[in-house]
Amino acid sequence: MNQMKRLKTVMLAITTLWLASLPANVSWAQATGGDKLQSVLSDLDRAAANFKSAQADFVWDQYTKVVNDHDLQKGVVYYRRLPKEVQMAADITQPASKYVIFSEGKVDVYQPEIEQVTEYNAGKNQSEFESFLVVGFGGSGRDLVKNFVVQYAGEETVDGASTVKLDLVPKAAKVRNMFAHIILWIDPARGISVQQQFLEPSGDYRLAKYSKVKLNEKVPDSAFKLKTTGKTKVVRPQG
């Protein structure tokens, strides 16, 4: 598996987090949709300025078109902003136990059933990781328009919450080869996305739904540490 295919695999494994280090000197003209879109982007700016941490339950639905199959994963996701980065951790509890941490430019995927940690280094693809791996929690409107062509796609109620839909088209060609569109359902009152869809050129997609969202509450340090044993082996794919 080459580096970009591996990158895609990791993206699909953990989906959402937006690094706070992206520059903010972006022209609003890069976004399209008029005053309504500008209002949503401003809401995201305000939320990002106050973002410290988040915790949410999730359901990830990976759809494979060629076999018309849905693969569901459930668990809890955590984020916290540190001085130099935003960390993410996903505790996947169903259908099998798995733990994923994104920190310091690398992703660690721990599978307790086989006692293995697979470590992926972003390397030269760091910008691709930063552009869409972490979208939805703690990122500003200016972050979005730096890396995506953003369009206002209307309003929709999701699980009883009023949301605004944004359609994102990645600007980087390598990213578009993996995901043609990313759709966010934004809760403007909190400046977070409660639902996301990552659509691939093949017709496959991942739909992510978030509930029981807790913002700016204390997240324990243990949430960002792998709970390995003395038998755990570490694998670092090359190439």
Question: What pLDDT was estimated at residue 15?
Answer: 41
DSSP state letters, 25-77: ---GGGEESHHHHHHHHHHHHHHHHH--EEEEEEEEEEEEGGGTEEEEEEEEE
Which residue type occupies 179?
F
What is the pTM assigned to this prediction?
Answer: 0.80
Q: Give CA–CA dist 224/34, Å, rounded.
A: 40
pLDDT for the residue 3: 47
**pLDDT score of 57:** 95
Are the C-beta atoms of residues 84 and 61 closer than 8 Å to each other? no
Give the three-class secondary structure for 48: helix
Look at residue 65 in the predicted model and tell me its pLDDT: 95
pLDDT at 224: 92
Looking at residue 234, what is its pLDDT? Answer: 95
CB within 8 Å of 62: residues ≥ 6 apart: 12, 70, 71, 72, 73, 204, 205, 206
**Residues of the chain below pLDDT 70:** 1-33, 122-138, 239
Q: Give dist(CA 4, CA 24) in Å, integer.
A: 27
Give CA separation, 212 vs 18, 22, 55, 76, 77, in Å: 19, 28, 8, 10, 11
Query: Domains along the chain?
Result: 3-147+206-235 (2.50.20.10)
Q: Which of 168, 173, 129, 125 is nearest to 148 (CA)?
A: 168
- CA–CA dist 186, 2 (Å, integer): 34
Instruction: Report the distance separating Cα 26 and Cα 30, nearest Å.
Output: 8
